[in-house]
Structure 1
Amino acid sequence: MYLAYVFVLAFGISFCSANIEGLFLELEAVVQSQFAENENMKSRVAELEGEVTALVAENLEEEHETKSGELKGVKTVAERREIPKSDHSSFSGHLFTRATGNSRAFHAYRSQNRCYNNYETIEFDVQALDNVDMYNQRDGIFEPPVSGVYVFTWTVAAPVHTHIATELVIAGRMAGVITSDSDASQSSGSGTHPATAVVVAQVNVSTHCYIRVRHTGSGDCAWVLSDDNKVRSTFSGWQLF
Structure 2
Amino acid sequence: MNNQILFLKMYLACIFVLAYGISFCSANTEGQLLELEVFVQSQFAENENMKSRVAELEGEVATLVAENLEEEFETKSGELKGVETMAEKEELPKSEHNGFSGHLFTRAAGSSWAFHAYRSRNRCYNSYETIEFDVETIDNVGMYDPRDGIAEPPVSGVYVFTWTVAAPHQTKFATELVIDGRMAGVITTDSDATQSSGSGTHPATAVVVAQVNAGSHCYIRMRSGTGDCANVLSDDNIVRTTFSSWQLF
Per the TM alignment, residue 188 of structure 1 is displaced from its structure 2 partner at its CA by: 3.5
Normalised by the size of structure 2, how large is the TM-score?
0.55
* TM-superposition CA deviations, 1:92-132 (whole Å, max 9, x none): xxxxxxxx942200000000000000000000000010011
Per-residue deviation, 1:219: 3.3
Contact 1:117 1:222 in 2 (8 A): yes
Does residue 220 of the first structure (1) align with residue 220 of the second (2)? no
Displacement of 1:167 after TM fit? 0.1
Distance 1:235 1:205 in 2: 19
In structure 1, C-alpha distance between the alignment counterparts of 2:186 and 2:194, rounded to whole Å: 25
1:176-231 residue CA offsets vs partner (Å, 9 max, x unmatched): 00001001111143110000000000000000000000000x33111000011100
Is the contact made by 1:161 and 1:185 (CA closer than 8 Å) also made in structure 2? yes
Does the Cα contact within 8 Å between 1:161 and 1:184 map onto a contact in 2?
Answer: yes
Deviations 1:30-59 (A, max 9, x none): xxxxxxxxxxxxxxxxxxxxxxxxxxxxxx
One-letter amino acid of the structure 1 residue matched with residue 229 of structure 2: C
Give distance in 1, aligned partners of 2:242 and 2:110.
26
Gaps of 5+ in 1: 1-99
> Who is 2:169 aligned against?
160
CA contact (8 A) 1:122 1:211 kept: yes
Aligned residue for 1:229?
Answer: 237
Partner in structure 1 of residue 47 of structure 2: none
For residues 30-109 of structure 1, the aligned pairs below 5 Å read 101-109=110-118
Runs of 4+ in structure 1 over 4 Å off: none
- Match of residue 130 from structure 1: 139
Q: Any conservation in 2 of the 1:183–1:189 contact (CA below 8 Å)?
A: no
Q: Which amino acid aligns with 2:203?
A: P
**Residue 177 (1) aligns with residue 177 (2):** no
Letter of the 2:193 partner, please give it: A
Corresponding residue SS for 1:229: coil
Say what the alpha-carbon RMSD is for the aligned residues.
Answer: 1.2
Superposition pairs of residues 182-197 of structure 1, within 5 angstroms: 182-197=191-206
Q: Residues of 2 paired with 1:219 and 1:230: CA distance?
A: 24
Q: SS of the counterpart of 2:196?
A: helix
Identical residues among aligned pairs (%): 79
Question: Does 2:160 align with 1:151?
Answer: yes
In structure 1, C-alpha distance between the alignment counterparts of 2:231 and 2:151, rounded to whole Å? 22
Alignment match, 1:115: 124
